[in-house]
Amino acid sequence: MVLLVLGVGVGARPVEEKKLDPAKPDFSVYHTQHALTEYIAQIVKIHPSTMQIEEMSRTDKDASPDSAAYTSSMQVVTVEPGGLTEDHSNKIRLLLAFGEHGRELITTETSFRLLRLFADPGSAMDIVEAQGASPHRIRSVLHRSVFKIMPMFNMGGRKKVEAGELCERKNGRGVDTNRNWDIHWGFQEKDYDPSEEYPGTAPFSEPETQILKALAEDFKPHVWLNVHSGMEALFMPYDHVATIPTGPAAEATYNILEELNMVSCRGQCAVGSGGESVGYLAHGTATDYMYERLKVPLSFTWEIYGDSTADFHDCFRMFNPLDRSEMEEVADNWALAVFRLLEFLPKHPDIPHLQIGTNPGGRSARVGQHAQPGGGKEVFAKEGGRKRQKVANTNPKRPAEIRVEGEGVVLAGRKVDGKRWEVTTDPLVGNETISLDGRSLRALHPPGTLSLTRWTLLVVVAFLALACYAGKGLRLAGNSRGSPPNLSSRRSSKPPTLSP
């Protein structure tokens, strides 16, 4: 994302400098565009139960008569670690883009490694456990998440870079797609440099941004992550003003980035608003649009590598590690950072929690059981006069065990007494108890963790459940699907007050 600030301070330099010998990419270390595309297709092909790929393509219909039509195509990989499904409405949805700027080759290497980790999540869990993370917690989130990944967003720009234009960040026809979004579009700062950040003839003039916008509108992600290089930073909105949004959700977002900074960036990343931290404001960016217009609650730009000692014209060195060991270290680290991010997501009030025992409509359900032919018991939920829905099965061979299948997740639990089973749904939130005495499911929480919000929710739920039982016909509209309590609100840390 970071711009080259050409010319700034150059006048102070001695005229006679040693001749610059810009670093060039070593394609025995980095993959070529062609090789990466092939490898990604292969990874997906051998994991058909959790991955699928599509080629998305658009052509500019409004290209002027004297210019050739401009087409952009890119791979979009869907990854659903719990198994591919059609309906993503109950899942945590994450949309990730890599390689938006052609010269940032390290980001596309990171996408390749991320897909390899998704192909072998066991190895990812081993590594994060060695880092001190909870693999159980990450696995729990992983299995109820779905990812849409654009491993190489800017195919046209990347082609130019591989042809030798090592400072190229724009797309195949000279537009910076990260200035092409309809949010504060076209605004020019004093140091505006069209060779770096030409925003196009109009918002969404570019096929790349059209593809991504359509994808985001359809997918409705909870998390948008745009991976760049040029510095080390974990950004949230805004890019076009030097401030971050206010409120509990934005505070939770900021806290997640702070935690990620410690576990994935040695505490060295700049954290906060892009507009405040980069040193210049950026207008028409994807992250601002995703957050402000599409209401994506967690919108991020990660800057994963930068060599601040590199000469302004030595672009490959400035944006990418040169040798193999450092390249692999950076790419592996930031691919794993996506898994570390999952660990923190349940703390965010806008991330949906796993709910068991509720019907798809989100209403509260009565719970009962009946014997199965095999000897076990089926636990079911039933809402009013509606169809019974299975929520769990007991194990006929081990009657004290239960398996809960909900929202693409299979969870195990244990018997508490003759009528109740306890199932761990989310280590950060607590356990759910399935009661078989005809009452709704309820959540158990470790002592002392009930926030005021949670108490209020419980009282309201209990009242409504009682009213329902008294036959007053009250419906519990989404009682158990409301926003979870903002756990981070108990924390003392606050986002910094940033100057406008």
Q: Which residues are catalytic?
A: 303
User: 101 or 348, CB closer to Zn ion?
Assistant: 101
| Contact range with Zn ion by CB under 5 A, out of 82-90, 121-129, 227-235, 412-420 | 227-235
| Contact range with Zn ion by CB under 5 A, out of 192-200, 221-229, 260-268, 353-361 | 221-229
CA distance 121 to 190: 47
Closest approach of Zn ion to the CB of residue 472, in Å: 58
| Contact range with Zn ion by CB under 5 A, out of 96-104, 203-211, 346-354, 457-465 | 96-104
228 counts as binding Zn ion under rule CB under 5 A: yes
Question: Which listed residue (101, 160, 222, 377) binds Zn ion by CB under 5 A?
Answer: 101
Closest approach of Zn ion to the CB of residue 107, in Å: 8
User: 103 or 363, CB closer to Zn ion?
Assistant: 103
Is the Cα torsion angle 163, 168, 172, 174 positive or negative in sign? negative
DSSP letters spanning 267-300 = T-SEEEEHHHHSSS---S-HHHHHHHTS--SEEE
Closest approach of Zn ion to the CB of residue 249, in Å: 26
Closest approach of Zn ion to the CB of residue 278, in Å: 11
- The contacts of residue 86 (CB under 8 Å, 6+ apart) are none
Q: Which helix (H) or strand (E) holds 233?
A: strand 231-236
Closest approach of Zn ion to the CB of residue 287, in Å: 11
| Contact range with Zn ion by CB under 5 A, out of 16-24, 101-109, 282-290, 292-300 | 101-109
1 counts as binding Zn ion under rule CB under 5 A: yes
CA distance 400 to 12: 77
| Contact range with Zn ion by CB under 5 A, out of 198-206, 223-231, 269-277, 487-495 | 223-231
Map the footprint of Zn ion across residues 408-437, applying CB under 5 A.
none
> Phi-psi region for residue 329, left (φ > 0), alpha (ψ -120 to 50) or beta?
alpha
Closest approach of Zn ion to the CB of residue 223, in Å: 19
CA distance 45 to 497: 48
340 counts as binding Zn ion under rule CB under 5 A: no
Q: How many residues bind Zn ion (CB under 5 A)?
A: 3
DSSP 497: P
User: 101 or 240, CB closer to Zn ion?
Assistant: 101
Contact map string, positions 282 to 321, toward Zn ion, x by CB under 5 A: ----------------------------------------
- For residues 258, 264, 265, 270, the Cα torsion angle rounded to the nearest 10 degrees is -30
Label the pairing between strands 223-228 and 298-305: parallel
Closest approach of Zn ion to the CB of residue 230, in Å: 6
DSSP letters spanning 330-397 = HHHHHHHHHHHHHHHGGGSTTSPPP--S--TT----EEEEEE-TTS-EEEEEE-TTS--EEEEEE-SS
User: 160 or 228, CB closer to Zn ion?
Assistant: 228
DSSP 111: H
Residues paired with 401 in a beta bridge: 414
Phi, psi (5° rounding) for residue 305? Answer: -165, 145
Contact residues toward Zn ion (CB under 5 A) are: 1, 101, 228
